[in-house]
């Protein structure tokens, strides 16, 4: 490097920083703040780096803001546990197996079993209904529709993802309930030999209604995420499949779906996370019941989040603690689901970068 007389250790350090960070392209400048103090001689004319400067302060400020996210996540766990603990120790029943929810009595007994069951069941119904349809729409937007139709339709889907959940809940209760009740009656008449559709009514405000409303809410999210994944399929792969004589569906099956699989799984998991935590739509559409029943069409159903919204008003101190404890369980469930989804995406990103 004798050709560059002014080149000091600083420059080398900067270069290394720029090239050693993998997968960081144009957006990355070298960061002068990570420079060591210049040695005497080459960079001696430069001012000495101050120990405390605006630079250090700004750097510390932004680092603290970044760390704030971790602080908040930890704080959520800590504060929920601290408020849930007194109620849990006052509980006379096993918190994980008890069905009933009587935390406001003088002799509190409550458990999360029925609530957790309802949460999982409604989310599963939502995913079973929403995922095939969402993936179809995503494929339609990315590979079937002409561009003139796909762009505005994708825009509309993105807008629907922004509609507040309380609106879907209101719609589910005021409008969608009647068709679902008719459908439930029909199912009950012809399929009551299947335990899922048995029972003597009343029908309508059932876990089926809640699950379907959730499905409609999850649909735009899963669609827009998986559409992005499908659009990222390398054109080379698609063209290679088509050139070998594949029909369009065979091209999608052999080139698009395998490539997008991790992304689609992650999108579904994120949709699941959204469905598990959904509060108001379920609070408006379910009629409250504290039992574990696989009957989909009879009035009933409950979920952790909906129960919090419904019971919060008349809760005393123990009742609030009990609700916070159930929220803690919900937090743990969604944290696991989200971390799994993100881990899948991250593995894929690593793979893509190193392959590129």
Partner 1 sequence: MSIIEREAPGVVMTPDNIRSKKLPVLTNVLVAVVSFAVAAALVLGLDIGNWVLVVFLGAVFYLVALYFVASSVEGSRAATNRTMKSLIYAACVLAILPLASVVWTLVSKGVNRLDGDFFGTSMNNIGARDPLGGAYHAIIGTLEQVGIATLMAVPLGVLGAIYLVEYGRGKFAGTVRFFVDVMTGIPSIVAGLFILSFWVLIVSPWFNNGQPRFSGFAASLALAVLMLPTVVRSTEEMLRLVPGPLREGSYALGVPQWKTILKVVLPTALPGIVTGVMLAVARAAGETAPVLLVAGGAAAINFDPFAGNQQSLSLFVYQQAGDASKFAPDRAWTAALTLVVLVLVLTVTAKLLARRNKLSR
- Give the integer Cα–Cα distance in Å for 192 and 170: 29
Q: Which CB, 210 or 273, lies closer to partner 1?
A: 273
Tell me phi and psi for residue 146, to 5 degrees: -65, 150
Q: Which CB, 28 or 351, lies closer to partner 1?
A: 28
- Give the integer Cα–Cα distance in Å for 119 and 210: 10
Minimum CB distance to partner 1, residue 162 (Å) = 5
Give the range of 87-95, 108-116, 294-302, 324-332 binding partner 1 by CB under 8 A: 324-332
Token pair belonging to 24:
């960081």
Query: How far is residue 40 from each of residues 5, 9, 264, 356, measured CA to CA in Å?
Result: 14, 11, 56, 42
Q: How many CB atoms lie within 10 A of CB 307?
A: 27
**Cis, peptide link before residue 99, omega less than 30° from 0:** no
Minimum CB distance to partner 1, residue 188 (Å) = 13
- Give the integer Cα–Cα distance in Å for 211 and 118: 10
- Taking a C-beta distance cutoff of 8 angstroms, is the pair 106, 99 a contact? no
Structure letter (DSSP) for residue 97: T
Minimum CB distance to partner 1, residue 92 (Å) = 23
Among 139, 207, 218, 225, binds partner 1 (CB under 8 A): 139
Beta bridge partners of 268: none
Among 67, 194, 244, 292, binds partner 1 (CB under 8 A): 67
Minimum CB distance to partner 1, residue 228 (Å) = 11
Query: How far is residue 309 from each of residues 176, 179, 202, measured CA to CA in Å?
Result: 21, 26, 24
Minimum CB distance to partner 1, residue 234 (Å) = 16
Q: DSSP for 161-218?
A: HTS-HHHHHHHIIIIIHHHHHHHHHHHHHHHTTSGGG-S---BSSBHHHHHHHHHHHH
Q: Which CB, 96 or 144, lies closer to partner 1?
A: 144
- Overall size of the chain counted in residues: 356
Using the Cα atoms of residue 177, residue 180, residue 182 and residue 187 in order, give the sign of their dihedral: negative
Q: How many residues bind partner 1 (CB under 8 A)?
A: 97
Q: Which CB, 133 or 265, lies closer to partner 1?
A: 133
Q: Is there binding between residue 256 and partner 1 (CB under 8 A)?
A: no
Q: Which CB, 108 or 172, lies closer to partner 1?
A: 172
Instruction: Show contacts with partner 1 in window 167-226 (CB under 8 A).
Output: 167-171, 173-176, 186, 190, 216, 219
Minimum CB distance to partner 1, residue 236 (Å) = 19
Beta bridge partners of 203: 298
- Give the integer Cα–Cα distance in Å for 123 and 9: 58
Minimum CB distance to partner 1, residue 2 (Å) = 22
Among 96, 191, 294, 312, binds partner 1 (CB under 8 A): 312
Token pair belonging to 167:
């609106």
Instruction: Show contacts with partner 1 in window 266-285 (CB under 8 A).
Output: 270, 273-274, 276-280, 283-284
Q: Which CB, 102 or 140, lies closer to partner 1?
A: 140
Q: Which CB, 96 or 312, lies closer to partner 1?
A: 312
Q: Is there binding between residue 158 and partner 1 (CB under 8 A)?
A: yes
Instruction: Show contacts with partner 1 in window 93-132 (CB under 8 A).
Output: 132
Minimum CB distance to partner 1, residue 165 (Å) = 7
Q: Which CB, 41 or 66, lies closer to partner 1?
A: 66
């Amino acid at each position: 490097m004798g050709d560059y007389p002014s080149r000091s250790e600083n420059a080398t350090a900067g270069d290394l920083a720029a090239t050693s960070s993998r997968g960081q392209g144009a957006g990355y400048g070298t960061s002068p703040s990570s420079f060591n103090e210049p040695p005497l001689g080459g960079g001696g004319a430069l001012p000495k780096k101050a120990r405390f400067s605006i630079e250090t302060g700004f750097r510390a400020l932004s680092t603290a803001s970044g760390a704030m996210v971790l602080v908040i996540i930890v704080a959520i766990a800590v504060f929920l546990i601290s408020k849930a603990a007194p109620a849990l120790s006052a509980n006379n029943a096993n918190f994980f197996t008890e069905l009933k929810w009587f935390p406001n009595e003088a002799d509190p007994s409550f458990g999360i079993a029925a609530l957790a069951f309802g949460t999982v069941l409604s989310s599963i119904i939502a995913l079973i209904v929403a995922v095939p349809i969402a993936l179809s729409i995503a494929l339609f937007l990315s590979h079937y529709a002409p561009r003139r139709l796909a762009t505005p339709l994708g825009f509309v889907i993105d807008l629907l993802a922004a509609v507040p959940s309380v609106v879907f809940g209101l719609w589910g209760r005021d409008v969608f309930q009647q068709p679902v009740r008719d459908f439930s009656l029909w199912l009950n008449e012809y399929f009551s030999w299947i335990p899922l559709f048995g029972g003597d009514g009343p029908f309508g405000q059932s876990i089926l209604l809640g699950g379907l409303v959730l499905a409609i809410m999850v649909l735009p999210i899963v669609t827009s995420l998986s559409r992005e994944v499908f659009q990222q399929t390398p054109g080379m792969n698609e063209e290679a499949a088509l050139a070998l004589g594949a029909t369009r569906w065979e091209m999608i099956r052999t080139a698009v779906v395998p490539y997008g699989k991790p992304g689609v799984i992650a999108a579904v998991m994120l949709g699941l996370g959204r469905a598990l935590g959904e509060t108001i739509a379920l609070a408006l559409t379910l009629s409250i019941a504290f039992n574990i029943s696989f009957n989909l069409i009879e009035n009933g159903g409950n979920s952790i989040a909906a129960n919090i919204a419904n019971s919060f008003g008349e809760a005393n101190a123990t009742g609030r603690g009990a609700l916070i404890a159930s929220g803690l369980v919900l937090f743990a469930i969604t944290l696991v689901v989200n971390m799994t989804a993100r881990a899948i995406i991250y593995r894929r990103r690593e793979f893509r970068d190193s392959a590129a």
